[in-house]
Amino acid sequence: MIGLLHGGYHLSMRTTADLLADVCGVDLSVGSIAAGCGRISVALAPIDSAIQVAVQQQPQLWVDETSWREQQQRGWLWVAVSPVATCFRIGPSRSQQALRELIGAHYTGIVHSDRASMYHALPDGQRQLCWAHILRNLQGLVDHQHAESGWAYRILQQAGALFTAWHAYRSGLFDQIALQQALIPVRLALHDLLELGATRPWPKLQAVCQDLLRHWDALWTFSRIEGLEPTNNTAERALRPAVVWRKSCYGTQSAEGSRFVERMLSVRATCVQQGRNVFAFLTEVVRAAWAGQPAPSIFCTP
């Protein structure tokens, strides 16, 4: 219950203690709450490792990161979402090495991501750049109301046509071939606009256009491989509960606290994906730990 209240529902340790006293009649100090979190973190360690192994074996991942403080030092909370499991990791850097530690040094599947530089460690053919993120970048250039903002607006219009084709595919109106054909005029128009935008006398517009041209193939992976999406919204949604938690707890005060956060976030998200009751699963984990038995598997067998 302590693990679920603090790590799942993100109540503070003080509020967790108050709730247990008021509802369950159990009086615990804040120190006892912290100790309980430490014990369940240890019990979850092998399950957390199994989650990461499962994630690294999936053919596609949605990856994102956000800031997270540990001992008042700036760090990063990473997430990798797969169709079967979700893995969170907290580390000191937002680097290519941190990315590889998350997804595996030899990962060969498709990674959905934004345009941050560390993702450039992956070949463009192994990436799908997030079009939702690109739209926000372009809208920012439009909202800037610069003399060259009109170019960004023209590019934005073509990107809108891309999503029209994608929604037709999602609704079953288009198959993969029809999607590719519908995107041909969009790709041609976008390429011309990006080449022109890269020559315009506005550094912000130039940078966006040059970067999109540099990673052109990574914009269209979803059109080549069936089942992919043109956005990284899945990873962004997975990070939202962690962002809410960060705002209330201001990060973690130790490496052990960070491990608890990682493991609880990973286990809760994966339980949801597996259709498992989080509290019931945590109960199984604690019982197995108390009995000295192997941790239960979080993955439902067919």
Contact 190, 159 (CB under 8 A): yes
The residues spanned by each domain of the chain are 2-115+234-291, 131-224
pTM of the model: 0.94
Report d(CA 261, CA 97) in Å as an integer.
21
Q: What would the DSSP string read from start to end of 90-102? A: EES--SHHHHHHH
Picking from 100, 134, 99, the residue whose alpha carbon sits closest to that of residue 216 is: 134
Q: What is the pLDDT of residue 302?
A: 57
Element (H, E) at 81: strand 73-81
Q: What is the pLDDT of residue 249?
A: 85
Report d(CA 131, CA 210) in Å as an integer.
16
Contact 266, 51 (CB under 8 A): yes
Could you give the percent of the chain with pLDDT greater than 70?
A: 99
User: What is the crossing angle of helices 149-170 and 176-197, to 10°?
Assistant: 170
Q: What is the mean pLDDT of the chain?
A: 95
Q: What is the pLDDT of residue 125?
A: 95
Report d(CA 183, CA 195) in Å as an integer.
18
The amino acid present at 36, given as its one-letter code, is G
Per-residue pLDDT 10s for the chain (302 aa) are: 999 999 999 999 999 999 999 999 999 999 999 999 999 999 999 999 999 999 999 999 999 999 999 988 999 999 999 999 999 999 999 999 999 999 999 999 999 999 999 999 999 999 999 999 999 999 999 999 999 999 889 989 888 899 999 999 999 999 999 999 999 999 999 999 999 999 999 999 999 999 999 999 999 999 999 989 999 999 999 999 999 998 888 889 999 999 999 999 999 999 999 999 999 999 999 999 999 999 999 998 65
User: What is the crossing angle of helices 30-56 and 278-291, to 10°?
Assistant: 100
Query: What spatial distance separates the first Cα and last Cα of the chain, rounded to whole Å?
Result: 28
Q: What is the pLDDT of residue 132?
A: 95
Report d(CA 7, CA 20) in Å as an integer.
15
Picking from 223, 212, 210, 209, the residue whose alpha carbon sits closest to that of residue 110 is: 223
Burial of 123 (0-12, 13-18, 19+ CB in 10 A): exposed
Q: What is the pLDDT of residue 159?
A: 86
